Amino acid sequence: MLNSLLSQYTRSLILVAVLLLIVILEVLEVRAAIYPGLLPFFEWARSSSWLGLIGTTYGSIYATVEAVHLLSMAVIGGTVLATDLRLLGVVFRDLPSETLTKGTHKVFSAALISAIATGIFCAAGVGDKVYYMEVFWIKMLALVAGSLFVFLVKQPLLNSMPHDEINPWTIRLLAVTSLLIWFTVAATGRWIGFS
């Protein structure tokens, strides 16, 4: 009985375990305990690591990497909008949503990798600042949640069967969640610059 449940609903059970783990860690205040220990790392990134040194010494390099970060964000935005708005039936209604989901994924992944790489450089240059920003941690949380969501939940489901066999509300939920999560990652990123 348990065995068949485990093999049939592995993903669902893992999800429940992960959500439970998050709640337990929160209740036990593990986050508050880990947080102070991270400060030395951020200070090291800012003042001793190669990334931080280059970023703080050469303003023009820093600004150019920021621009690449923005361009990667634009490509992420373009692919996410095209795919998710298609899933919601807003654009490309005459094209199969399977084509768009599959066709944009590679470019999305490449842009995400580029955005993360340039983002690490940008964060290293202001490591001592971002550490104290709530919005930075919100962004990191959203980024991790978004990446796990896309690669472990959304794509596996959408690639596993024809989309018209999936409940339309499930598809809408996936699309809206994906849109909002990448919007959050981008918007909180912009706000890091203002704080």
Interface residues with other proteins (CB under 8 A) are 8-12, 14-16, 19, 59-60, 63-64, 66-67, 70-71, 73-82, 85, 91-92, 94-95, 99-100, 103-104, 106-107, 138, 142, 145, 149, 153-154, 156-157, 160-161, 165-167, 170, 173-174, 176-177, 180-181, 183-184, 186-187, 190-191, 194
Query: Smaller CB distance to other proteins: residue 31 or 190?
Result: 190
The terminus-to-terminus CA distance of the chain in angstroms comes to 54
Q: How far is the CB of 135 from other proteins (least distance, A)?
A: 9
- The CA-based angle 89-82-193, given to 5 degrees, is 125
Query: Smaller CB distance to other proteins: residue 117 or 176?
Result: 176
Cβ atoms of residues 162 and 106 within 8 Å: no
* Structure tokens, 137: 């941690």
Shortest CA distance to 183 belongs to which of 129, 124, 134, 138? 138
Query: Smaller CB distance to other proteins: residue 79 or 124?
Result: 79
Q: How far is the CB of 112 from other proteins (least distance, A)?
A: 13
Query: Smaller CB distance to other proteins: residue 101 or 124?
Result: 101
* Structure tokens, 103: 């066709």
* Separation of alpha carbons 193 and 195, rounded Å: 6
Cβ atoms of residues 155 and 108 within 8 Å: no
Q: How far is the CB of 44 from other proteins (least distance, A)?
A: 26
Q: 3-state class of 78 per DSSP?
A: helix
Cβ atoms of residues 171 and 87 within 8 Å: yes
Q: How far is the CB of 2 from other proteins (least distance, A)?
A: 15
Q: How far is the CB of 157 from other proteins (least distance, A)?
A: 4
Query: Smaller CB distance to other proteins: residue 44 or 92?
Result: 92
